[in-house]
Chain A
Amino acid sequence: MTQEYTLQMKDISKVFFNNKVLNSVNLNVKSGEIHALLGENGAGKSTLMNILFGMPVIHSTGGFEGEVIIDGKRVDIKSPKESLDLGIGMVHQEFMLIPGFSITENIKLNRETTKNNLLSRVFSSKLKTLDTKSMNRDARECLDTLGMDVNEKSKIAGLPIGHMQFVEIAREIDKRNIKLLVFDEPTAVLAESEADNLLNAMKTLADTGIAILFITHRLDEVMQVADNITILRDGEVVSLKQKEQTSVSELAELMVGRRIEGIMNSNKDEKSFDDKEIILKIRNLRVSMRGEQVKGINLDVRKGEILGIGGLAGQGKIGIANGIMGLYPTQGEIYLEDKKLELNNPKESIKNGIGFVSEDRKGIGLLLDSSIELNIAMTAMQMQNKFIIKLLPFTQMNKGKIRKHALKMIKDLDIRCRGPHQMTKRLSGGNQQKVCIARALTLNPDILLVSEPTRGIDVGAKKLVLDLLVKLNNQLGMTIVMTSSELGELRSVCSRIAIISEGKLEGILMPTDSDVDFGLMMSGEYHKINRGEAL
């Protein structure tokens, strides 16, 4: 019976510095099966994968207990190389791609096809010439399998994120002996439409007999593709389910371990903001942001509301907030309470009371190597001379004040950390997001622009972040413009939702409107006939 499983992990236990992170975990994956591995951040998923891949971090901290069995044979994986040789591949959450290399070079990374030449015969096989032609041919084949029509010779830098993900997968399937493919939160950085493509590709791969281990936070995707589901919580297997016997809410419950109220928020009374004054008026906004072009948008934001901006990836919804902040070249007119805002000048935008939480948390949202408190205070110090002691003509940080403020923020926003001095890169995604929000709040903004606040964070943290936004809105009366790819969360917190399609405003919907309306607007069909742009 052992033979039928591609991968068996039996009674895996792992102790990190007297801290038991895995407790006799069992995991079985059959060939051709899509097996989902669920768990909150810190549930032990990454540790389990590190063991499977023989990462040095495992062996330098005393190894692990239990056994790993591949195709019925017990194996002892000591290095990533050995796991590769055994036919285990990984599609990483952060892309393991080299931007300066072509797609082919990335697919064939360290597995280049080579030819003998004079020198390699005499000296070492390391001097073999690369066989570029056959490499390109193999790469083309893999891309075709995945249905990608990009030129295999083009560089990774500049490709859309969705394509990069596919290049990662192409690299894995190019390994001829591949038996097991691990997808580590592959859809976390993708928008819904891209994610769908990916899930389809996963199904195709599974049909060819490859076993797939799918690690994710998105439960609906699990329900869409997985055959079996293993749920980890606090280092233990809580449950092993078959897809047919379970539901999204049951999975969420098992994963989080506490009953979460449906994402739909109950405390939102159907307030109407139609009579409130317009705080932000956008006229004919054009933003040139790569992959998220905004092509002339008119939008009014009323005081005290949470306005959602939704739409598919690449349609321009992300560009709006970035344009308002002046981060990308922008044209058009923006009025803040009838005062015209100077464009293309982030300083001016911040001064006029617009706070921004970027969608690119790790790139431009945070100073990853700096402490939480510095991250929170940074913009306020720069822009408003807060937390600064002036000793003419020198300025010094007021460390006491910063610490006090940071502690207050950590408490108010419930940032889980070791203290205000902890580096932000060591925080989990949800907590990083909270630090970003804390920084925006420190500026005392009138309007808060939040882009993709829940991208790449797990279900529990998602809810906390959304609750926080609602709280800010309710208690402080802050106007919030929230951009998100996840319609569900927009509908749960927003009072109105603007749907962007092809860089233009498709329409504004109420959260209570029907799924059909949302679906039509997202795909840009809603007004197409009216606009005379029918295909």
Chain B
Amino acid sequence: MAQINRIHLSNNKDKTVLKKIKDIFMKNIVTIIFLVLCLIGIELSGLPIFFVVSELVTRLTRNSFLVLSLIIPVLAGMGLNFSIVIGAMAGQIAIIAVTHWGVTGIWGFLLCVVLSFPFALFFGYLTGKLLNKTKGQEMIASMILGFFANGLYQLTFLFLVGTVIPMKNDVLILSHGVGVRNTIDLSGGLESTGIKYALDEIWKFPIFYIIIILCGLVLLYFGIKLAVDIIKYRRGNKKPFMNNCVKYIFNITVCLILLVVSILIMTGDSSLSMINLPMITAFVIVILCLFNTLIVKTKLGQDFRTVGQDKHIAKVSGINVDKVRVLAIIISTVLAAWGQLIFLQNIGTLNTYGSHEQIGMFSIAALLIGGASVSKATVGQAILGTVLFHTLFIVSPLAGRNLFGDAQIGEFFRAFVVYGVIGISLGLHAWRKRVELKNKLRT
């Protein structure tokens, strides 16, 4: 057996630096391609950097929560959960009810959160049950389920409201008394009627101050770690320093660059210093990030991962596979419902029959761009993907117009980007997997 060991080890050793770089490139090919596309798009669109960054901050806080809600089902091996549109519907049901009752502001928002929870729980449970019957085809099943649920949703709000469900509201209901209006204003005129900016407006703070503070904290952290390792190095334990050396240098350099740039922006008279970050929304998103990271380290998270890796083995070792999968979908659906609330409170108008429709596609496209695949997704990928996707989204109409000289082309470009992204990144992931397999055979 020692023999086998030795062969095994010697195989791992002979990897040159060039090959390592190539490996890194291959592993992140999807993200790299879209990063390049983003840069080209920014250049072509000719948009001022202030506009791009401020739009991006808004969109990042608006969409991240939804994208993050996709992670747990991926972990549990159920692929990309297209059925988060159903969660979004639960959120919208709550919003319509709360707007009808006239509860506004943060209290209205919190009521929405409470109210959407049981709906999302129930919908998620049903979705999970269905996906357990369609093992291996979760992605297409959840997508079609989303379309089907949309039909039920339309039936409810076009026909049942005002007939079966008693509801009298001149603002929300169509003039003949049946069905909810197509658009619902969540802000209202002089007097606020909805939950617009309920979360965002609580506390805003210039984003570059926050970057400066964060960079300072990270620098402090790495500085202490580096110091500890250097002391260990002096005492003869060279291992930790040698292992982490490159990591430290890289992280500290990045932080320093960010710090200097931010300080320059804040002290100069650049308009960028005016960009504010909605602190509470950001805080909620950070909590969700932490939740997604920490849950992996719990018993439940380990169950998710086990089921995701191999359902059969999980079953044999006594894990209730179906229950774990239903739980994953329930969590995802509930998070999606809340994500939709955050999304809509930022947009300020509810498109009753349309707001939820594209949520699934957009969030999944964002996650995929970040380098996630149907079997692996992390918080970092979700955030990075949201940034890249929405940059592309912001600049592509103008870039398209500048390139082809037609405003219509610009709109077409957006749709093209979304669906193109999903197609290309799924394709690239499949291709990468094959290359990896080939390389594996070679070594």
Contact = CB atoms under 8 A, between A and B. Distances in A.
B is bound to A: yes
Interface of A: 80-81, 84, 92, 96-101, 105, 109-112, 114, 117, 120, 125-130, 149-150, 158-160, 162-163, 193-194, 197, 288, 290-291, 293, 313-315, 327-329
B21 interface: no
B4 A162 contact: yes
A314 B317 CA distance: 31
Contacts of A158: 8
Contacts of A315: 3
Contact of B298 (A97, A130, A194): A130
Contacts of A149: 5
Given A80-B316, A194-B1, 17 more contacts: A96-B313, A96-B316, A98-B306, A105-B302, A109-B313, A110-B306, A126-B299, A126-B300, A127-B295, A129-B298, A130-B301, A160-B4, A163-B1, A288-B443, A290-B7, A290-B11, A329-B442
A194 B4 CA distance: 10
B318 A314 contact: no
Nearest to A292: B7
B116 to A, nearest CB: 19
Interface string B294-331: 01011111110110011011111111000000000000
B441 interface: yes
Contacts of B297: 129-130
Interface of B: 1, 3-5, 7-8, 11, 295, 297-303, 305-306, 309-310, 312-319, 441-443
Contact of A96 (B299, B300, B317): B317
A120 B298 contact: yes
A105 B317 CA distance: 12
B318 A110 contact: yes
Contacts of B3: 314-315
A290 B298 contact: no
Contact of B299 (A92, A114, A197, A328): A114
A295 B150 CA distance: 64
Nearest to B309: A98
Contacts, number: 90
B367 to A, nearest CB: 20
A127 B300 CA distance: 6
A46 to B, nearest CB: 14
Most B Cβ at <10 Å: residue of A97, A99, A290: A290
B317 A109 contact: yes
Given A101-B309, A109-B306, A128-B299, A291 B8 contact: yes
Contact of B302 (A130, A193, A197): A130
25 contacts: A80-B316, A96-B316, A96-B317, A98-B313, A109-B313, A109-B317, A110-B314, A110-B319, A112-B299, A117-B298, A126-B300, A126-B303, A130-B298, A130-B299, A149-B5, A158-B8, A160-B4, A160-B8, A162-B1, A163-B1, A163-B4, A288-B442, A288-B443, A291-B4, A291-B8
Closest 6 CB pairs of A and B: A81-B318, A160-B4, A110-B317, A126-B300, A98-B309, A109-B317
Contacts of A194: 1
Contacts of B301: 130
A158 B443 CA distance: 11
Given A84-B318, A110-B319, A158-B8, A97 B299 contact: no
A290 B295 CA distance: 36
A293 B4 CA distance: 10
Contacts of A101: 305-306, 309
Given A126-B298, A127-B299, A290 B443 contact: yes
A288 B439 CA distance: 12
Given A110-B318, A291-B4, A125 B313 contact: no
Contact of A127 (B7, B298, B316, B442): B298
Given A163-B1, A197-B1, A110 B303 contact: yes
Q: Specify which of B297, B298, B301, B443 lies most central, judged by the most chain A CB atoms within 10 Å of its CB.
A: B298
Contacts of B318: 80-81, 84, 110
B313 A97 contact: yes
B390 to A, nearest CB: 31
B243 to A, nearest CB: 14
A92 B316 CA distance: 11
Contacts of A290: 7-8, 11, 443
A76 to B, nearest CB: 17
Contacts of A109: 306, 313-314, 317
A100 B375 CA distance: 12
Contacts of B314: 109-110
A358 B292 CA distance: 44
Contacts of A99: 309
A84 B4 CA distance: 33
Contacts of B442: 288, 328-329
Nearest to B301: A130
Contacts of B305: 101
B140 to A, nearest CB: 20
A293 B298 contact: no
B357 to A, nearest CB: 33
Contacts of A128: 298-299
Contact of A291 (B7, B302, B315, B319): B7
Contacts of A80: 315-316, 318
A5 to B, nearest CB: 25
B126 to A, nearest CB: 22
A368 B24 CA distance: 35
A313 to B, nearest CB: 8
